[in-house]
Amino acid sequence: MIQATSKNARNALIMVHSRNVVVEQSAKHVGIGASRASVMLFAVRMLLAVLVAAVPLLGQPAIPRYEVKRAPSPIAIDGKLDDTAWARASAPLTLQFLWDSQTGTKQKTLARLLWDAQALYVGYDAEDADITARYTERDDPTYRDDAVEIFINPNPAQDIVYYGFEWNARGVMYDYLNYNGRTLFKRFDATGVKVATSLRGTLNARTDTDKGWTLEAAIPWANFEELSRRPPVAGAVWKANLNRWDGVEPNRRMSIWSDPQQATPWPHVSARFGELVLVD
C-alpha cells in the first residue's frame, strides 16, 4: 500500500515537471533525434498526468470493510441484542467523531450486522446520557432526534442511488431512496421491516441522567430489488455507511463509520461508503 501525503504528491509533481523541462533541454543539447526525444517527452508527460489524477486520492483514509456473518439461529427483534446469533457477529464497528466544530457530547456508538436468507440485520448500541426522541410518525424527520442511520448500496458498480433507513430512539423509521446524494424519494416505503429499541433510561426526561439505548432492525431482502434482483449469497459485497445523530439543538453531533471526506457533517457521499462482505 502506498502511503503518501498531499504535500509529498505536490513535491512529486514539481519534480516530474522539472524533469520534463530537463529532458527537453537535454535532448536539444546532445542532439537526440526528434523522434526519440518525442518518445521521452511523451513518457514523462504521461507520468505527470497520472500523478495529477492521483493527487486528490493521496492522503484519504482507506474505505473500511466489515464482514457480515450469517446468523446461525433466528433473531427476535426486541431491541435487546441478546440473542445467541449476535454473539456470532464480527466485532462491532465503532462510529467516529470527525467534525470538531460540533458542540454535542461525544457519546460512543457500536454497530453489528448479520444476515440470513430472509433479511439483513443491524444492531446499534448507543451510550446516551439524555435520550430524546419527539417524532412518532413514519417518515417524520427522525434525524432531528437521537437517531441511528444506515445507507445501503447493493450494487457497488454504481454510486448514484442507494437506500436510506433512519430510526430514532423510539424506533420510528424514516426511509427513502437517495439519488445523487441530494434528492430523497420519500415515497419509497420499505415493507416488512422490523425494528425495536430498548432504553437504559427515561425518554424525553431532560432532568435525569440516562445510560443509553439499543436498536435492532431486520430489513427483508425484497426491499432492495431495484438494485439487487436476487437475495445476496456468501461472498457478495455491498456498500454502506452507518451514522448517528445525537443531542438536542444547538448541541448536536454526528458520528459515522466511513469518513465521507466532508468539511461539514454530511454523510450522503456514496463513493465513500464502506464495504459489507457477506460471509458464512
225-275 pLDDT, tens per residue?
Answer: 999 989 999 999 999 999 999 999 999 999 999 999 999 999 999 999 999
Low-confidence spans in the chain with pLDDT less than 50: 1-30, 32, 39, 44, 48-57
Q: Mean pLDDT over all residues of the chain?
A: 86
pLDDT for 43 equals 53
Residue 83 exposure: Cα atoms within 13 Å on the Cβ side: 22
pLDDT at 23: 38
Helix (H, G, I), strand (E, B) or coil at 112: strand
The H or E element containing residue 13 is helix 6-30
Per residue, what are the HEC states of 144-201?
A: HCCEEEEEEECCCCCCCEEEEEEEECCCCEEEEEEECCCEEECCCCCCCCEEEEEEEC
Nearest to 118 by CA among 20, 58, 193: 193
Cβ pair 241, 258 in contact under 8 A: yes
**Alpha-carbon distance 59 to 4, whole Å?**
6
Q: Which amino acid is at 175?
A: D
| Residue 34 cell numbers, joined | 526528434
Smallest CA-to-CA distance from 108 within 273, 253, 208 is with 253
pLDDT value at position 121? 98
Q: What is the pLDDT of residues 72-100, one digit of tens each?
A: 999 999 999 999 999 999 999 999 999 99
Task: Report the pLDDT value the prediction gives residue 59, as an integer from 0 to 100.
Answer: 72
